[in-house]
Structure 1
Amino acid sequence: MPLDQDTIDESGEKEMSFLDHLEELRWHVIRSMVAIVVFTIFAFIEVKWVFNSVILAPAKADFWTWRMLCKIGHAFNSPDLCIEDIPLVLQSRFMTGQFTITIIAAFVLGLVFAFPYVVWELWRFIRPGLRVNERKNSKGVVGAVSGLFLAGISFGYYIIAPLMVYIMVNYKISDMIKNEFDITSYVTTVLTLVLGSGLLFQLPVVIFFLSKFGLVTPAFLRKYRKHSVIVILIVAAIITPPDPLSQTLISIPLYLLFEISILISARVEKQRLKQEAEERMREEQSTPSAS
């Protein structure tokens, strides 16, 4: 009688009971939360540098985006593209406003920096349940998810956030109205735009796995391409602040990602159909012919 009572699946992994899976998931979640807490504490300790050099940076004229835009302006003889000043005035109108927003900002930054590790822990939990060929075809998924998240974060931070801040700061319907924003409003808007962009950039990964399981096909995506525009606008409205500008800025790259997802789905379907044909061929060859 074997000493280990656990059964072994075809890939060599031990099959676990439902309670064992819950215990395994619990430790993956605990390790992920520890990573988030560690980065959150670090961000909280360095809060002054975080606010001056990261969160408030898109509202400064020497921000990277504005410097690059100025260089483009000089290259095309358009000096108007250079931003000399952004008249942003921030205030804290609540007694606990600055402290509360510090905790929120530190937690969001902790989540952003710990995101690759969290994805890795989640993949470690999911991977044993996949078949051998599914594991082979899913290599690099952690890198892809992390890379898309980083691309989304960068797009939100360097493109959407500074443009959003500049337009809203300079937008006036009357000279009698001064734009003096609360620090909570500013930080919440910037963090929502940046984090939302990172999450929305995961669309190709979502389509990849849905196509793997045959739940989505490229024909289905092409058929409902027009409907996807409405869905994208709704999602952008939910995940961004309630204004048309930020929704439009996030909807454009999201639609481009949808088009890329169609190509990914077509490639996945081609591989899946090829594997199914090979499996049927092996089954036919292994079946003895009738005499």
Structure 2
Amino acid sequence: MATNVKRKKKAEVMSDDGSMTLTGHLKELRNRLIICAAVFVVGVIGFLAISDKLIDLLTAMAMNANYTFVFLAPQEKLMQYFRVSLIAAVIVTIPVALYQVYAFAKPGLKRSERFFFRLVLLFGLALFCVGVLFAYKVTLPFMLNFLVTLEGTDYITASISIESYINLCLTMFIIFGCVFEMPLVTIILAKMGIANPEIMKKGRGVAIVLIFLVAAIITPPDIVSQCFVAVPMCLLYFISIFLSGIFYKPKTDDDDEDEDDEEESSDEE
């Protein structure tokens, strides 16, 4: 009886030709989603236990600038502890989720595609971490010192809402993490034959103007924040031009013919 049940379950997952059935794919997807959800829940609980240390880590940048933090609503301080814990749990869950996506798609990928997929995942995570670290170590400390030392009336002191400060930190972390992904996006587009290095060189003047425009939109309304986002973006753009020259793969007529042959063979089948 038990053997029959096992065979029935195996038949639901695997078809006669050895490939996985739709039910099997859905079960695998469910299991991987459960793993991601479990990691997130455990992360939230774990980071709640050390949420005060996370807040100390974020506010340490502003202590040298003599900031005084306050909370303006009774629940504001408590909500920031929950908020930081949730975001930290999401950060921990993202690599696990990306790995689960890779593991789910791995059987259908070629060896070269699997290598490129792993390279993109590792390179992307590394660049995002470098962007966040750059914001934490360089951009935010300088920005906070600059803003607090602006000349003005002496009786105006800096008593910053902890909610607004956390908002600023998280916004800058996300911005710099995404901005530092530019070389990776360029490599992917170059491999697809989209990011042409010659076109990127000719359009660098327009690109710089657009970069400063985007920096003005996504940053707080001051010129220092804009420059601190725009200047690294310009440097990354020039690095992207160099990388596109290495990885650029123009699409040839042979590639189009191969795609047409594949479509014709699939239609015949």
CA RMSD in angstroms comes to: 3.1
Residue 81 of structure 1 corresponds to which residue in structure 2?
Answer: none
Aligned residues: 245
DSSP-derived class of the 2:248 partner: helix
Where does residue 73 of structure 2 map in the other structure? 94
Which residue identity is paired with 1:133? S
Q: 1:5 to 1:90 in 2, by over 3 A?
A: same
Taking structure 1 as the reference length, the TM-score comes to 0.71
The letter for the 2-side match of 1:57 is A
Is 1:152 matched with 2:156?
Answer: no
Q: 1:223-238 alignment to 2 at 5 Å?
A: 223-238=202-217
Structure 2, gaps ≥5 residues long: 1-10, 262-269
- Matching residue of 1:74: none
Q: Secondary structure at the match of 1:140?
A: helix
Alignment of 1:145-184 (within 5 A): 145-184=124-163
Residues 182-231 of structure 1: per-residue CA shift (max 9 Å, x gap): 11111111121123211221111212222222232222322322222233
CA distance in 1, matches of 2:67, 2:43: 29
Q: Residues 30, 219 of structure 1: CA spacing in aligned structure 2 closer, same or farther, 3 A cutoff? A: farther
Q: Indicate conservation of the 8 Å contact 2:15/2:21, yes or no.
A: no
Aligned-residue identity in percent:
27
1:208–1:265 contact (8 Å) kept in structure 2: yes
- In structure 1, stretches of 5+ residues that fail to align are 9-13, 62-85, 284-291
Corresponding residue of 2:192: 213
Query: Contact 1:157/1:194 (CA < 8 Å) preserved in 2?
Result: yes
1:44 equivalent among 27, 43, 48: 48
Higher helix share: 2
Secondary structure at the counterpart of residue 187 of structure 2: helix
The 1:25–1:192 alpha-carbon spacing in structure 2 relative to 1, beyond 3 Å, is farther
Residue 57 of structure 1 is matched in structure 2 by: 60
Contact kept in structure 2, 1:148 and 1:198, CA below 8 Å: yes
Q: Report if aligned partners of 1:6, 1:15 keep a CA contact under 8 Å in 2.
A: no
Distance 2:164 2:47 in 1: 20
Q: Does 1:244 align with 2:248?
A: no
Where does 1:9-28 land on structure 2 (aligned, <5 Å)? 14=19, 25=29, 27-28=31-32
Matched, 1:5 2:19: no
Residue 44 of structure 2 aligns to which amino acid in structure 1?
A: T
Cα deviation digits, residues 99-148 of structure 1 (max 9, x gap)? 11122222222233333323323333454554443334444222211111
Please, what TM-score do these two structures have when normalized by structure 2? 0.76
| Cα deviation digits, residues 149-192 of structure 1 (max 9, x gap) | 11111101111111122122222432242222111111111121
